[in-house]
């Protein structure tokens, strides 16, 4: 199978390309968190729902580890983006 082009976008929220992911790996990244810290891949509003698997499989390919052994990135709340206005109103409603 042909190698996928470097300029394909892997993380759609943050416009991170496969080339950027590959570069971070070639510079020493071995975990999902390191890649996220360097490239912003997986840091956007969808929290890596799309790119997580793609980045993990690239890491697996480059490090020779099975995907299951790639240390996953930390998941953080909120699971879905919520407006600050709604969060503020929730707090005010609870205090009443």
Partner 1 sequence: MRANADAVIVGGGVNGASIAYNLLKQGMRDVVLLEKATFCNGSSGRCGAGVREQWGSEGNCRLAQAALNIFENLPDELDYPYDMEFKQKGYLMLAHTEREWDRLRQNVEIQNRLHINSRLCTPGQAREIAPVLNTEGMLGATFNNRDGHANPFHVTRAYLMAAERLGADINYFTEVTSIKSNGYRVKSVTTDKGVVATPVVINAAGPWAKPVAAMVGIDLPLFTQRHQILVTEPIGKVLDPMVMSLSLGIYCQQTPHGSLVMGMGDPREPKGYDIGHSWTFLEKMCSIMTHLLPVLKNVRVVRQWSGLYTVTPDAHPILGSVPELEGYYQAVGFSGHGFMLAPVVGELIAEMVTGKKPHIGIGALDLGRFQRGEYNIEPSVV
1 binds partner 1 (CB under 8 A): no
Mark 14-43 with x for binding to partner 1 (rule: CB under 8 A) and - for no binding.
Answer: -------------x--xx-xx--xx-x--x
> Among residues 34 and 60, whose Cβ is nearest to partner 1?
34
Is residue 87 within the footprint of partner 1 (CB under 8 A)? Answer: yes
Using CB under 8 A as the binding rule, whether residue 96 contacts partner 1 is answered as no
User: What CA–CA distance (Å, rounded) separates 96 from 87?
Assistant: 15
* Measured CA distances, 34 to 30, 50, 72 (Å): 7, 18, 10
CB 35 within 8 A of CB 80: no
Size of the site for partner 1 (CB under 8 A): 27
Output the DSSP codes for 21-38: HHHHHHTT--SHHHHHHH
Residue placing its CB nearer to partner 1 in the complex, 1 or 26: 26
19: tokens are 């080339």
Rounded CA separation 39/17 (Å): 9
Query: Could you list the residues that contact partner 1 (CB under 8 A)?
Result: 27, 30-31, 33-34, 37-38, 40, 43-45, 47, 74, 76-78, 81-85, 87-88, 90-92, 94
């Amino acid at each position: 199978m042909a190698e996928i082009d470097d300029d394909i976008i892997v993380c759609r929220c943050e416009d991170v390309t496969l080339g950027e992911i590959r570069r971070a790996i070639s510079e020493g990244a071995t975990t999902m968190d390191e890649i996220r810290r360097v490239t912003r891949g997986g840091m956007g509003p969808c929290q890596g729902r799309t790119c997580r698997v793609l980045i993990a499989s690239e890491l697996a390919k480059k490090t020779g580890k099975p995907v299951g052994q790639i240390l996953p990135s930390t998941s953080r709340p909120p699971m879905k983006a919520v407006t600050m206005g709604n969060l503020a109103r929730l707090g005010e409603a609870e205090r009443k």
